[in-house]
Amino acid sequence: MILGPLAVLGLIYLFLSTTTSTNKEWKILLMDKKEIFDSKLTSNPPKNLQFDFINTFVDYDEFAYQEKYQSYDISVWINEKIVSNKNVIISYRERPPENIQRKIRYLVERRMEEIMVDQFTDLSVSKFREIKQALNFSLKDVYDPKNEKSTTASWVGFSFGGLIILFVFMFGMTILRSVSREKSNRIVEVLLSSVNPRQLLTGKVLGVGFSALVQFTAWVIIIGTGLYLFRLTLFPDMFSPGFVADEVSKTDFSQELSNQSPFVELIYKQIQYLNMLVFFALFFIGGYLFYGSFFAMIGASMGSESDGQQFIIPLTLLLFVSVLSGYYVVYYPSTTLSSWLGFIPFTSPMVMMVNLSNGFEDGSTWQLFLSLIVLFISAIFMLMIAGRIYKNGILRFNHRLKLRMLIKWTKK
């Protein structure tokens, strides 16, 4: 009864603590060419934020690669025309957590309010705050200021990972329904007089898994053929040398295409389909076997069809957390948590697809294979546990399913 809400609470805490809390000290370079801020802030920054002011503009490349800026984590560029255009650009080496971003924004906003009140009005700061126009902050990766690499490619991986989770959920529920239906209509006793429980469970998981793979293959064929046909019909000149030159003189429709070109290029050029599909299949199989065993466990052990709901909720939440972890890794690809999430079997199918789409640095592909090995070992272990629970639970009817009962069944 209380397991569901407690699990939700725990997950919320985990998510909040990983996205907000950090002990890291952030060194920030505030670039203020016109010295609008006068090398000071209104209130003292927190201990983990150290601000340095310079009156020159350092572009992204200089900040990213010049030796003297290497000690800085973040640069904040106060635009020379900030009074009118309100633009502030925050660029980072490693994406700061939400609370750090918020603190930086707060400090810049407060200082700007002070300056505006001081120079342009007779209003008090609090009165001015009521009528003021907020600053426009934009966040940039200093290594990818145009946001070309990380997000689009990561989102492709995220989509692949999301598909895995979607398939795992769909076919996991198929296992659960199938097991609980055989249990509730009592045919399972007839089946068990011909085959042993482990064979029955394995057959069920593999059968549904093959059906999932057939559907996946159908998706690949349909989407692959569709993309090929699009290329032949909708984007025939996409990759011809004259395309860019002709672009200007083309009709509105072509103009629209040119706007889409980064995405089109990503779809047709950047994604390494063979690589992605092979690992998609492997992570799908591992994830499906791992999560499938949980669904089979619940199906076999529930006393009635409605009884298992309390255990389906936390399991669905785990899948949801897996999606969230993918989202987290898209934005924070290089944190310690992101690395761990890639090896935890609950999240690795999602996270590794994101990492795979971003590409692995030389010498770090072992992470991909280690993650797969951990996932498959965990899946085999969980299938063994599921086999025990299936054997003990499948012929128990009309009981109230309790966690204690499940733990006991794993031991026999």
Partner 1 sequence: MISVENISKYFNRQTILHDISFSLEKGEILGLLGPNGAGKTTLMRIINHIISADKGHVTYDGKLLKEKHLINIGYLPEERGLYQSMSVEKQIIYLGKLRGLSSTEAKTQMEYWLKRFGIQAWKKKRIEELSKGMAQKVQFICTVLHDPEVLILDEPFSGFDPINIELIRKELLNFKKQGKSIIISTHNMNNVEEICDRAILINEGHKVLEGTVHELRHQFKEGIYKISFVGNMIAFANALWAGYEIIDKEIHGDDAFTIYLKMRQGNKINDLLNTVIDHISITGIEEVLPSMENVFVKSINAQNEIVSE
Q: In the set 164, 188, 372, 379, which binds partner 1 (CB under 8 A)?
A: 188
Give the one residue of 163, 191, 227, 267 binding partner 1; rule: CB under 8 A. 191
**Strands annotated E in 119-218:** 136-141
Per CB under 8 A, 195 contacts partner 1: yes
Of residues 276 and 405, the one with the C-beta less far from partner 1: 405
Among 1, 131, 190, 274, binds partner 1 (CB under 8 A): 190
Interface region with partner 1, contact rule CB under 8 A, candidates 29-37, 188-196, 357-365, 372-380: 188-196
For 186: left if phi > 0, alpha if psi spans -120 to 50, otherwise beta; the answer is left
Q: Which stretch binds partner 1 (CB under 8 A): 185-193, 325-333, 340-348, 382-390?
A: 185-193
In this structure, what token pair is assigned to residue 48?
């983990």
- Asked if 403 touches partner 1 (CB under 8 A), the answer is no
Residue 391 CB, nearest approach to partner 1 (Å)? 9
Q: Is the dihedral of CA 148, 150, 156, 158 positive or negative?
A: negative
Which tokens go with 145? 């200021």
Assign 39 to helix, strand or coil.
Answer: coil
Crossing angle for the helix pair 273-301 and 309-331, to the nearest 10 degrees: 160
Among 127, 186, 269, 400, indicate the residue that binds partner 1 (CB under 8 A): 186
| Tokens (6 digits) for 176 | 């659960």
The structure tokens listed for 71 are 């000690």
Closer Cβ to partner 1, 21 or 194, answer by number: 194
State which residue, 184 or 258, has the beta carbon closest to partner 1. 184
> Residues 382 to 401: which contact partner 1 by CB under 8 A?
395
Sole residue written with tokens 């699990």: 7
Residue nearer to partner 1 on the CB measure, 239 or 397:
397
- Integer angstrom CA distances of residue 137 from 152, 238, 269, 298, 347: 21, 35, 32, 48, 32
The residue range among 96-104, 159-167, 191-199, 219-227 that interacts with partner 1, by the rule CB under 8 A, is 191-199
Using CA atoms, how far residue 58 sits from 39, 78, 288, 359, 404, in Å, is 16, 11, 49, 29, 62
Nearest to partner 1 of 34, 399 (CB atom): 399
Between 200 and 354, whose beta carbon lies closer to partner 1?
Answer: 200
Question: In the window 196-215, what residues touch partner 1 (CB under 8 A)?
Answer: 196
Q: What does the CA dihedral 176, 178, 180, 186 come to, rounded to 10 degrees?
A: -160
* Position among 133, 194, 233, 336 found at the interface with partner 1 (CB under 8 A): 194
Segment 50-89, which members bind partner 1 (CB under 8 A)? none
Write out the DSSP string of 50-109. EEEEESS---HHHHHH-GGGTT-SEEEEE-TTHHHH-EEEEEESSPPPHHHHHHHHHHHH
Residue number with CB closer to partner 1 (344 or 405) = 405
Binding residue (CB under 8 A) for partner 1 from 139, 192, 271, 337: 192
Kindly tell me which of 99 and 178 has the beta carbon lying closer to partner 1: 178
CB of 194 to partner 1, least distance (A): 4
How long a stretch of residues is the chain? 412
Which is nearer to partner 1, 95 or 388 (by Cβ)?
Answer: 388
CB 364 within 8 A of CB 274: no
Binding site for partner 1 (CB under 8 A): 182, 185-196, 395
